[in-house]
Copies of this chain bind each other. A is one copy, B any other.
Amino acid sequence: MMVETSIKEIPELKIHGRTTACREPLTLFWTASGFECNVSGSELWVEVEVTYDVFEPWFSYTVNGDWIGRQMLVKGRYWIPLFRGMNPDKVKNVRFYKDLQAMSDDGDSYVHIHALRHDGKFYPVEEKALKLEFIGDSITSGEGLFGAKQEEDWIPMFFSALRDYAYLTAKALDAEYRVFSQSGWGVHNTWDNNTRGAIPKYYREVCSLMSGAENERLGGNMPHDFDSWQPDCVIVNLGTNDASAFDQPEWVDEKTGEHHKMRRNPDGSYSEEDVRAFRDAVKDFLYTLRACNKKAHIIWCYGMLGTPLQIPICEAIGAYIAASGDRRVSYLQLPNTDETNVGSRQHPGALCHQQAAEVLSKYIAQLV
């Protein structure tokens, strides 16, 4: 017999991704956030509540670890079937993924999980031995992993958690993972010089890069409780947008007059002053990461869209290690995108993410 159970009444349910303590409903903010359950019974449905102004969320899900479905979420509160007709006696592992990043440009774009409808029984989800946190930009948000090569629209349909190197790395290592990422953002500024789009500024809250009243109401701006979940490795994949900014016009905040531009020298090389600001931002972020993650290996990754800031990143890491004595920080270059592995929107494609996951998972396996 099918019953409907609020997720707050399912203690066996595992929640993935940074979120608040609220379970009526559970709010999904970040890429790959969601829930996981082990459940018997023949059938399973999930009750979602979906809001957005411009950018609709998508979700994907796996059954017993295999990707089963992916679909756009329409507005409203409604039930979605996840499986039916299965052997009721067997316990199935189901993992629901928000298949879209926190959309900072749409303060109303959320997925909330209310309840599950089922005819089985829930069982605990085993803890993974390894925990990974991925911090990044569009690459880590899986932008360009869906869609034909010629696609140019910046829309949710072309983002995905499940072809992403983060997902693939976690899978290869049988690890639990979280994603903290924002397309177009960097360590020091966005791809177009906006200094408010600096990932480090938002790292200490649950999801403060979502703006507006709804995020305030949902608790996204509250401090994140780092003690509640300590990763074994923090993988930072930032710097790509910081480099783009050298080729973009100055950013000006029309209200405050605030402005910023990463500048090139007359000979085309990067302004040393601006590179220094970038290096300082990298170094500062390493202090922040260490403060929040006492024992984690911190791996700064870079290179899936070229390596123009590689030397400054390594210099900043070197300077941080020298100043702090903290040796659990390292640098790893990831495979570049070329015509053989590119996806849509000139972003790394599925093959590039697979190549990156192979390099990264081998690296982590040696480290931990």
A interface with B by C-beta (< 8 Å) = 54-56, 63-72, 74, 81-87, 146-148, 150-153, 155-157, 267, 269, 272, 303, 307, 310-312, 314-315, 317-318, 321-322, 327, 330-333, 335-336, 338, 344, 359, 362-363
Contact = CB atoms under 8 A, between A and B. Distances in A.
A87 B314 contact: no
Contacts of A82: 72
A321 B265 CA distance: 14
5 contacts: A56-B81, A63-B147, A66-B151, A310-B330, A336-B362
What is the oligomeric copy number? 4
The dominant DSSP class at the A interface is mixed
A155 B86 contact: yes
A148 B87 contact: no
A157 B67 CA distance: 11
A272 B153 CA distance: 50
Contacts of A56: 81, 84-85
Given A155-B86, A315-B314, A71 B69 contact: yes
A303 to B, nearest CB: 8
A312 B318 contact: yes
Contacts of A69: 69-72
Given A68-B147, A332-B333, 12 more contacts: A55-B85, A64-B150, A67-B146, A68-B146, A72-B81, A83-B157, A85-B157, A303-B333, A307-B331, A311-B330, A315-B318, A336-B359
